[in-house]
Chain A
């Protein structure tokens, strides 16, 4: 783990039952639609990979059963949605001082192998489908695993060690470099950038001003006379989808509601 390199999470998939790699922390969407958004944690240099518990009367507390199984998806620190009780607040969980780094961050092929070994291939396929099409939650369906998108077609086989030769390693590392450059480009230099600026002559922007949280139509206006929906042209704003989803995966209605004192835009 390197201090100063920013967040470096490990990704886990629903259904994963194996223990996580040493000195890592995982965050994953749950098995229900309520927990689609990922909350990868930032890396901290002074943690050991285990949950930090203060000593009691000078003695270290014994590890609990939950701690012994904290690599399981069920124990991951997810942040449930606020159910609309302003006074109650959001029942968040403490995420600081927990280890978080990418599995084999400096060894991309090895990291791919770990992801395939620990995650169900169905989930890998769904993630690939989402990234390719920009599909929203409502349009995603469970489908059989596809070897091409799950990485199995690149000699990464579930249940077998993955040891790529030099040419394959080079291909994979190039793919990561291109993917990184692509992600940064669509995030910070998107097409039609002016379409979602706060003012036409401003560099301040928000991707949701034009297409709302579904990237279709502008958000409805909340007025004293009620909700005024925007006019739809039935076209998905793909540039906004890419711009929003690459750095901040996940979207929900509250992000884009234009009502003073209520709602959030990203």
Chain B
């Protein structure tokens, strides 16, 4: 049954792929494989672990999403998202600024998710330190 047009599914991550808590001083990469299972839009945001509010940085909002209009796709259709105090060269549109000394967690949101999320045939990469 496809009831499109409403709702979302969320995934949260507090730790990186090596099992350590995400640190605002380190640089990480998250890869969203092609075919992100949403029929409206997707969003990745970072939140302060102490206040559970959005990270407050020089960026207007700690958000990289299909609606931001700045996200670059890889040749295979996947999308790399970077977290760190500074953005890698040429990746500012795919980067989220973090604060050294401050922990955070990440929420991936899929609006109007598709079956690939429910049956888990699609999965995001772990947030890997680089």
The residues of A with any CB-CB pair to B shorter than 8 Å are 3-7, 42, 86, 184, 187-189, 198-199, 202-206, 222-224, 247-248, 254, 257-266
Greatest chain B CB density within 10 A among A6, A198, A257, A261 is at A261
A266 vs B11: C-alpha distance when bound (angstroms): 9
Q: Is the CB of B7 within 8 A of A205?
A: no
User: What is the chain A residue whose CB lies nearest that of B54?
Assistant: A42
Interface string of B1-26 (1 = CB under 8 A from A): 11111111111111111010100000
Overall SS of chain B's interface: loop
A263 vs B111: C-alpha distance when bound (angstroms): 9
A226 → chain B, closest Cβ, in Å?
Answer: 9
Interface size on B, residues (CB 8 A): 42
Q: Is the CB of B56 within 8 A of A4?
A: yes
- Give the residues in chain B near A187, CB-CB below 8 Å: 52
Cross-interface CB contact of B12 among A6, A86, A206, A224, cutoff 8 Å: A206
Q: B91 interface residue, CB < 8 Å from A?
A: no
Q: Is the CB of B48 within 8 A of A203?
A: no
Cross-interface CB contact of B6 among A205, A248, A262, A266, cutoff 8 Å: A262
Q: B87 interface residue, CB < 8 Å from A?
A: no
Could you give 24 example pairs across A and B, Cβ below 8 Å? Answer: A6-B50, A7-B52, A42-B54, A184-B49, A184-B50, A199-B120, A203-B15, A203-B17, A204-B123, A204-B124, A204-B126, A206-B9, A224-B1, A259-B3, A260-B115, A261-B39, A261-B112, A261-B114, A262-B4, A262-B6, A262-B7, A263-B6, A265-B8, A266-B12
A3 vs B113: C-alpha distance when bound (angstroms): 35
Q: Is the CB of B113 within 8 A of A260?
A: yes
- Give the residues in chain A near B120, CB-CB below 8 Å: 198-199
A23 vs B12: C-alpha distance when bound (angstroms): 34
Cross-interface CB contact of B21 among A188, A259, A264, cutoff 8 Å: A188
Given A3-B56, A6-B53, A188-B105, A260 contacting B6 (CB threshold 8 A): no
Q: Is the CB of A260 within 8 A of B10?
A: no
Q: Is the CB of A7 within 8 A of B51?
A: yes
Q: B33 interface residue, CB < 8 Å from A?
A: no
Given A42-B53, A42-B54, A205 contacting B13 (CB threshold 8 A): yes
A150 → chain B, closest Cβ, in Å?
Answer: 26
Given A260-B2, A261-B5, A265-B10, A203 contacting B21 (CB threshold 8 A): no
A8 → chain B, closest Cβ, in Å?
Answer: 8
A7 vs B118: C-alpha distance when bound (angstroms): 33
- Give the residues in chain B near A198, CB-CB below 8 Å: 11, 120, 123
- Give the residues in chain B near A223, CB-CB below 8 Å: 1
- Give the residues in chain A near B112, CB-CB below 8 Å: 261-262
